[in-house]
A and B are shown apart, each in its own frame.
Chain A
Amino acid sequence: MTVDAGFMTPGDKSWVREWLFTIDHKRIGMLYLWCIMAFFAVGVFLGLLMRLELFWPGKDLIGPQEYNAVFTLHGVIMVFLVVIPSIPAAFGNIFLPLQLGAEDVAFPRLNTFSFWLYVIGGGTALVSLFTGGGAPDTGWTFYVPFSSVTTTNVSMAVAGVFILGFSSILTGLNFIVTIHRLRAPGLSWARLPLFAWSLYATAWIQVLATPILSITVVLIIIERLLGMGIFDPARGGDPILYQHLFWIYSHPAVYIMILPAMGVISDIIPVFCRKSIFGYKTIVGSSLAIAFAGSLVWAHHMFVSGMSDTAVMVFSFLTFVVAVPSAVKVFNWLSTMYKGSIRPEPPLIFALGFIFLFAMGGITGLVLGSAGTDMHVHDTYFVVGHFHYVIFGGTGFGMFAAIHYWFPKMYGRMYDRRQAIISALLLVVGLNGLYFPMYLLGLAGMPRRYYDYLPQYTQLHQFSTYGSWITLIGLGLMCYNLIRSRYRGEPAGRNPWAAATLEWTLPSPPPTHNFDQEPVVTHGPYEFGEVQDDA
């Protein structure tokens, strides 16, 4: 047996060929991870800029046009470049084949191609800021008619979105085929780790919903370039149809964002409670149910757009239905913890932060899902607070939990656990400070996307901005801890958490070719009886 020091170590080829043109799923995952973190930093910076501008009423830092561009960029970068690919493209690529006992994903070259599409799409979106008529100012939803008439560089930005969508589709396609075809002997569907199951549900949404976004952005481009008038009522078009098409993708997209995070949490909680997951089958079923029902609720974004009352009631009802499987998961996690032997390690702390923040966002989702209350808070800061709780508190925390859970596996080193826990707590406090005032602002009537506001909102805006500083400190501490530990951390063994899924049977970091022999799976992913602790 040859000694392989892990997939991270340099080989004999040039760095560019080793990394940028690699077909190794682990390296592609790492590339995604680094790119996503870089874009995340840009998105955070833009978010902070908005919070600073809103510290006092009136103009402080940037003017209205710049503000419009900043919230558009913040949205586009965070949604399309960070949150959607965050867990599936980064951790899915690294760990899905390992959890399946496979050598690689089903189509390794297609995987490289997906990564390159991501880079090209991200590049196109960024170039759109500095060329043409200036940075897009439409908001990340690109609503017509404004997006078809504004002179800013919308066409290029949506072209970037199209390319990113293609990348997302191909990743999802690759994962579905991988899960169907490349499971190790003995790894039946009922033994699949819940992270893999969540990626499976996510991949179906990616494959089935993203094409609708693709066609929608193509329509914006041809509308702008050729003046088609497909969404222009004067020429027989209909702008409401744009909203339908857009949300048919973009609502399921929030489940692309949240399902993998739920998968990460479902993998972490049993490990740190030393208990098999409570209700494995209901968690699997709820993932699939979310993927299915989540595709039927798009028009709850459009209660005030002038749809028929019947449509409003139907979509309101369906929106309540999709809350059920999410709640099922939360109850499963809590039941798993009940009478468990809990070890408060950093991944668990992040997972608990996830549950709390996700619940905060999920419950307010019901306020928005019922048409009556939605009329009151529609397009106010209440909505901003809601989706940031779900997306930053949910997907973001899922991402951080994943980083802290798999860090020793990826780098073969352990971070400072105390600092990690402190950063998690700082983030929970910071996010609540940042987003809770937004609920109150929204209830008080502060509209979203305004760069100026009436004086009575000042205090809550300032409170929110203080929260953003605490969040920044938390993020800073977390990054410092992780980056320092990548070079100086204590060496970690194969299985520091004594977890039972297949990736922990490999050395840390895993060798280039994954498993020397194809593993044969003899027990479920959360049966810890035979697992040896190897820190």
Chain B
Amino acid sequence: MHEHRDYQGAKMGMWLFLFTEILLFGGLFVLYAVTLGRFPIEFHEASKLLDVTMGTTNTVVLITSSLFAALAVTALQKGNRRLAEVFIGLTVALACCFLVIKYFEWSHKFHMGIYPGSADIADWAPGKQAFFALYYTMTGLHGVHVLIGMALFGWVWWLIRAGKCTSDHYVALENGGLYWHLVDLVWIFLFPLYYLIT
């Protein structure tokens, strides 16, 4: 039985999957939009409690990692396997960096008693509580996607090592890159909605 290889089919499958991811986050963006419409002032106040510097740094980190992912695809297409591996490594390293920054950000908030269900925020206005409920849910889910993306790149790296992802059959890396751009894209929407809404 010959191995079925369909470049366009594989790309199409990935795009369809990305639609489902957009819709998954879409549900949360709908919740955000409705809640923002209901509590615009509270959202504004709650937003001021977030650290814009950390958020901005993370945005830069993630966009740069997306650039490296794209460079990895180009490197492999041009047959430079070594360079592709280096770029994949850089992508994963920056993803890690993103999560570390996120960790410090979150733990600082926790330390201040700002998390859903905490005693400190029980007396806050409902809109401010809702802001943080959505903040933790959406950035948390995004964080899970960062982890999945890292695992995906690890797998592609292994494929390249094993010679299963090559300069004329690079769709696995390309699809991994597409996924990573989506993770990046979601963050690009999350960043202004939470950090810059003033």
Binding site for B on A (CB under 8 A): 103-104, 106-108, 110, 169, 173-174, 176-177, 180-182, 207-212, 214-216, 218-219, 222, 226-230, 233-238, 241, 244-245, 248, 513
Contact (Cβ within 8 A) A230 B16: no
Q: Chain A residue with minimal CB distance to B118?
A: A227
In contact, A228 and B116 (Cβ under 8 angstroms): yes
How many CB-defined contacts (below 8 Å) exist between A and B?
114
Task: Determine whether the beta carbon of B9 is less than 8 Å from that of A180.
Answer: yes
Indicate whether B104 reaches chain A with its CB closer than 8 angstroms: no
The answer to whether A226 and B117 touch across the interface, beta carbons within 8 angstroms, is yes
Question: In whole angstroms, what is the CA distance A427 to B127 when docked?
Answer: 54
Quick one: given A228-B116, A228-B117, A229-B117, are A237 and B133 in contact (CB under 8 Å)? Answer: yes
> Sorted from nearest, which 3 A-B pairs have the closest CB atoms?
A236-B130, A236-B126, A227-B117
In the complex with contacts A181-B12, A228-B137, A229-B129, A211-B24 CB distance below 8 A:
yes
Most chain B beta-carbon contacts within 10 A, residue among A228, A236, A248, A513: A236
Is A236 touching B133 in the complex (CB atoms < 8 A)?
A: yes
- Chain B residues near A182 (CB-CB < 8 A): 9
B26 contact set on A, CB distance < 8 A: 211-212
Residues of B within 8 A of A218 (CB): 141
- The answer to whether A245 and B30 touch (CB under 8 A), given A180-B12, A211-B24, A212-B23, is yes
Write out the residue numbers on chain B whose beta carbons fall within 8 Å of the beta carbon of A176: 12, 16
Q: For residue A241, which residues in chain B have a CB less than 8 angstroms away from its CB?
A: 30-31, 34
Instruction: Flag whether B111 is at the interface (Cβ < 8 A).
Output: no
Quote the shortest CB–CB distance from A239 to chain B (angstroms). Answer: 12
Taking CB atoms, residues of chain B closer than 8 Å to A106 are 4, 6, 9, 13
Please tell me if B21 contacts chain A, counting CB pairs below 8 Å. yes
Interface residue B39 (Cβ < 8 Å from any Cβ of A): yes
Residues of B within 8 A of A208 (CB): 19-20, 23
Shortest beta-carbon distance, B4 to chain A, in Å? Answer: 7
B197 at the interface (CB under 8 A from A): no
CB A505 to nearest CB in B, in angstroms, measures 20
Least Cβ–Cβ distance between A24 and chain B, in angstroms: 10
Q: Is the CB–CB distance between A212 and B13 below 8 Å? A: no
Q: Mark B61-105, 1 if CB is under 8 A from A, else 0.
A: 000000000000000000000000000000000000000000000
A215–B21 Cα gap in the complex (Å)? 10
* Inter-chain contact B133/A177, CB cutoff 8 Å: no
CB contacts (< 8 Å) of B41 on chain A: these are none
- Check A177/B12 contact, CB under 8 A, given A207-B20, A211-B24, A226-B117: yes
Question: Which of A173, A219, A227 lies in contact with B16, CB distance below 8 A?
Answer: A173
Asked whether B178 is an interface residue with its Cβ less than 8 Å from the other chain, the reply is: no
> Chain B's nearest CB lies how many Å from the CB of A199?
15
Majority SS of interface residues in chain B?
Answer: helix
User: Which of A104, A173, A215, A233 sits near B13, CB closer than 8 Å?
Assistant: A173
Q: Which residues of A contact B134 (CB under 8 A)?
A: 230
Please, which residue of chain B has its CB at the minimum distance from the CB of A227? B117
Q: Give 26 pairs: A residue, B residue, CB < 8 Å, sorted on A.
A: A103-B4, A106-B6, A106-B13, A108-B4, A173-B13, A173-B20, A177-B13, A181-B9, A181-B12, A182-B9, A207-B16, A211-B20, A211-B21, A212-B23, A214-B24, A215-B24, A227-B116, A227-B117, A228-B117, A230-B133, A235-B130, A236-B39, A236-B42, A236-B128, A237-B126, A245-B30
Verify if B35 is at the interface (C-beta below 8 Å from A). Answer: yes
CA distance A228 to B115 in the complex (A): 9
Additional pairs, 10, CB under 8 Å, beyond known A236-B35, A245-B30, A248-B27: A169-B20, A177-B16, A207-B20, A208-B23, A215-B25, A229-B116, A236-B125, A236-B130, A236-B131, A238-B34
Does the CB pair B12–A230 fall under 8 Å? no
A227 neighbours in B (Cβ, 8 Å): 116-117
Chain A hits for B116, CB < 8 A: 226-229, 235
- State the B residues within 8 Å of A (CB): 1, 4, 6, 8-9, 12-13, 16-17, 19-21, 23-28, 30-31, 34-35, 38-39, 42, 116-117, 125-131, 133-134, 136-137, 140-141
Q: Find chain A residues with CB under 8 A from B27 CB.
A: 211-212, 215-216, 245, 248
State A212–B31 Cα separation when bound (angstroms): 12
A228–B16 CB distance below 8 A: no
Asked if B20 contacts A234 (CB within 8 A), the reply is no
- Asked whether, in the complex, the Cβ of A236 is within 8 Å of the Cβ of B127, the reply is yes
Chain B residues, CB < 8 A from A169: 17, 20
Complex contacts, A229 vs chain B, CB 8 Å: 116-117, 129-130, 133
Complex Cα–Cα for A235 and B35 (A): 11
Nearest Cβ in chain B — how far from A358, in angstroms?
29
Q: Which residues of B contact A238 (CB under 8 A)?
A: 34-35, 38
Give A211 to B26 CA distance when docked, in angstroms: 9
**CB atoms of B4 and A235 under 8 A apart:** no
A205 to chain B, nearest CB (A): 12
Give Cα distance in the complex from A447 to B186, angstroms.
Answer: 44
Q: Which residue of A has the minimal Cβ distance to B28?
A: A215
Please determine whether B13 and A107 come into contact, CB atoms closer than 8 angstroms: yes
Q: Are A513 and B1 in contact (CB under 8 A)?
A: yes
Instruction: Check A235 against B9 for contact (C-beta < 8 Å).
Output: no
Determine the chain A residues whose CB is within 8 A of the CB of B20 once the complex forms: 169, 173, 207-208, 210-211
Closest Cβ of chain B to A528, distance in Å, is 32
* Most chain A CB inside 10 Å of its own CB: which residue of B26, B27, B35, B39: B27
B13 in contact with A236 (CB, 8 Å): no
Q: Does the CB pair A237–B24 fall under 8 Å?
A: no
**Residue of B19, B23, B136, B141 ringed by the most chain A CB atoms within 10 A:** B23
In-complex Cβ contact of A181 among B6, B30, B128, B136 (8 A): B6
Q: Are A230 and B31 in contact (CB under 8 A)?
A: yes
Cα separation A371 to B133 with both chains bound (whole Å): 34
